[in-house]
């Protein structure tokens, strides 16, 4: 393919017409809210996924809630809003819109193929934590956990490849399960919030004979950003696919403010309050709020804790299927000559490996990788959008160097803390900033490849300048 010819996946793309779109409260908001209500997100919110004594509660409730709010707003305004507007104004999916930032050849890999690859990481995380929630029902042995993880990932991958439409019919209501569980646990622990003392929590979480070392105030804020933004980064870029189902800018904004910012604060805030309240009531210093033992202690019954674990796992199955579905669609688009059963099968094998080895348990590590991967993507897309006059420039030829160089450097910055290169606070946010700044500099230096004409105007049937 020459640099002046559009590949079929771009030239044959058709915008989603206005008559197929719906209000924000019927698509964007509930779908994103379901992501934050997934127990894998709020389970380790209080600890921030680290071993730091006290976790995000190390400096008290105020710092933890402030960090949560800051991170939730960053998710909406920096990581979701521009992709959502891109989708709304063009009516086109992410793998097509991304060709403006990464080129029609480079766009197959970024963000298309990368999105698919990372979904198998999510499937591994889902399989691991769901198997941990279900294993106590089968004796709680390691063997039971491994078998459940294998079956869970395999069935979810198959459903995502073949039968996702059946899961979608019930998935709308399943996020209510974790919401109800959070409400019940808050009711059980709220009486202890007034007695919560951060210093005592830190001391309780410090190994005997060691000096209590807690995060600084800004360390708590940075950890909240790393945890929440890293968790959300891929979903932010996928805002293109959500936005193409919105009618106007107002719907894009409201969908994000309610489904992302508010939902993150509600789910994450509930977990933080539950952990603080439980400690204040003398129920222990546990910070993993979806842990079976923690829930059993809160409820005063092993049976109740196991029942909650079962319900949370049931509610987590649709997200596992959706991850597989997104991955399968990505691979079908970017690897059209490869049998999807083979490509998805290989990805599922990786998911199973992550789950059975326990590597998926390190959620902060997983979130750091995701933030490093998609932080610079979202940053570059924002600058691309602004430089193009708040619209989609159109597909660019070949490999757009401005996008690729900004991604490589941003990815290195985002990964630095995980691989020990540098202790960079709020790494996913720093990756976003580096990606954005570098794209701007490189674009102004003339490193953007030329825009190719589409057979139909971008956004035909879906105005790029839809009213707000």
Residue 451 main-chain phi, psi, to 5 deg: -85, 130
> What pTM, to 2 d.p., does this model score?
0.92
Token couple for 96: 């097509």
Token couple for 369: 């990788």
Please report the sign of the dihedral spanned by the C-alpha atoms of residue 178, residue 184, residue 187, residue 189.
Answer: negative
Looking at residue 108, the DSSP 8-state letter turns out to be I
Name the residue among 314, 286, 309 with its Cα closest to residue 152. 314
Cβ atoms of residues 205 and 54 within 8 Å: yes
Name the residue among 463, 456, 393, 314 with its Cα closest to residue 107. 393
Name the residue among 432, 46, 462, 415 with its Cα closest to residue 252. 462
217 vs 60: CA distance, rounded Å: 9
444 vs 431: CA distance, rounded Å: 20
84 vs 306: CA distance, rounded Å: 39
Give the model confidence (pLDDT) of 239-279 as tens digits: 999 999 999 999 999 999 999 999 999 999 999 999 999 99
- What pLDDT does 168 receive? 62
CB burial of residue 139 (10 Å; 0-12, 13-18, 19+): exposed
308 vs 316: CA distance, rounded Å: 12
Domain locations along the chain: 24-203+214-359
CA angle in degrees (0–180, nearest 5) for 375-376-379? 90
Hey, is 2 helix, strand or coil? coil
Name the residue among 225, 218, 217 with its Cα closest to residue 426. 225
60 vs 182: CA distance, rounded Å: 21
Looking at residue 396, the DSSP 8-state letter turns out to be B
Name the residue among 129, 135, 382, 434 with its Cα closest to residue 237. 382
Hey, is 451 helix, strand or coil? strand
Name the residue among 289, 294, 428, 287 with its Cα closest to residue 366. 428
Name the CATH architecture for the domain at 24-203+214-359: Orthogonal Bundle (1.10)
Name the residue among 240, 338, 242 with its Cα closest to residue 34. 242
Full pLDDT tens readout for the chain, 468 residues: 445 678 888 888 899 999 999 999 988 999 899 999 999 999 999 999 998 999 999 999 999 999 999 999 999 999 999 999 999 999 999 999 999 999 999 988 888 889 989 999 999 999 999 999 999 989 889 999 999 999 999 999 998 887 656 666 666 788 899 999 999 999 999 999 999 999 999 999 887 556 667 899 999 999 999 999 999 999 999 999 999 999 999 999 999 999 999 999 999 999 999 999 999 999 999 999 999 999 999 999 999 999 999 999 999 998 898 888 888 888 887 788 889 899 999 999 999 999 999 999 999 999 999 999 999 999 999 999 999 999 999 999 999 999 999 999 999 999 999 999 999 999 999 999 999 999 999 999 999 999 998 864 444 433 344 333
């Amino acid at each position: 393919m020459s640099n002046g010819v559009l590949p079929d996946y771009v030239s044959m793309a058709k915008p989603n017409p206005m008559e197929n779109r719906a209000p924000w409260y019927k698509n964007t908001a509930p779908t994103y809210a379901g992501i934050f209500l997934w127990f894998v997100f709020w389970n380790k919110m209080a600890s921030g996924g680290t071993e730091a004594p006290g976790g995000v509660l190390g400096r008290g409730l105020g710092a933890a809630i402030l960090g949560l709010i800051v991170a939730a707003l960053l998710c909406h305004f920096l990581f979701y809003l521009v992709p959502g507007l891109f989708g709304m104004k063009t009516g086109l999916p992410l793998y097509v819109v991304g060709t403006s930032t990464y080129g029609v050849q480079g766009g197959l890999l970024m963000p298309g193929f990368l999105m698919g690859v990372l979904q198998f990481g999510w499937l591994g995380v889902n399989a691991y934590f769901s198997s941990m929630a279900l294993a106590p029902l089968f004796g709680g042995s390691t063997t039971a956990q491994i078998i459940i993880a294998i079956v869970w990932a395999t069935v979810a991958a198959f459903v995502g490849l073949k039968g996702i439409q059946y899961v979608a019919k019930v998935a709308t209501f399943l996020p209510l399960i974790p919401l109800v569980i959070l409400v019940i646990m808050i009711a059980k622990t709220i009486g202890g919030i007034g007695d919560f003392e951060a210093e005592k929590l830190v001391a309780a979480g410090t190994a005997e004979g060691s000096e209590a070392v807690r995060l600084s105030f800004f360390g708590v804020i940075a950890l909240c950003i790393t945890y929440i933004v890293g968790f959300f980064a891929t979903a932010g870029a996928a805002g293109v696919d959500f936005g193409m189902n919105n009618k106007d800018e107002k719907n894009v904004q409201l969908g994000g403010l309610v489904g992302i910012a508010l939902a993150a604060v509600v789910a994450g805030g509930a977990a933080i309050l539950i952990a603080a309240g439980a400690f204040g009531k003398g129920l222990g210093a546990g910070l993993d709020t979806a842990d079976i033992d923690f829930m059993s202690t809160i409820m005063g019954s092993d049976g109740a804790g196991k029942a909650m674990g079962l319900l949370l796992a049931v509610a987590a199955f649709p997200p596992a299927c959706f991850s597989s579905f997104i991955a399968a669609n990505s691979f079908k688009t970017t690897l059209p000559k490869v049998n999807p059963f083979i490509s998805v099968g290989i990805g599922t094998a990786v998911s199973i490996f992550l789950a059975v080895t326990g590597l998926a348990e390190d959620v902060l590590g997983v979130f750091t990788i995701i933030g490093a991967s998609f932080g610079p993507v979202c940053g570059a897309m924002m600058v691309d959008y602004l430089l193009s006059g708040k619209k989609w420039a159109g597909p660019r030829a070949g490999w757009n160097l401005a996008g690729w160089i900004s991604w490589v450097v941003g990815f290195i910055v985002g990964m630095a803390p995980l691989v020990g290169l540098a202790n960079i606070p709020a790494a996913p946010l720093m990756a976003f900033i580096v990606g954005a700044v570098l794209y701007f500099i490189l674009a102004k230096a003339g490193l953007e490849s030329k825009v190719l004409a589409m057979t139909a105007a971008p956004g035909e049937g879906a105005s790029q300048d839809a009213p707000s």
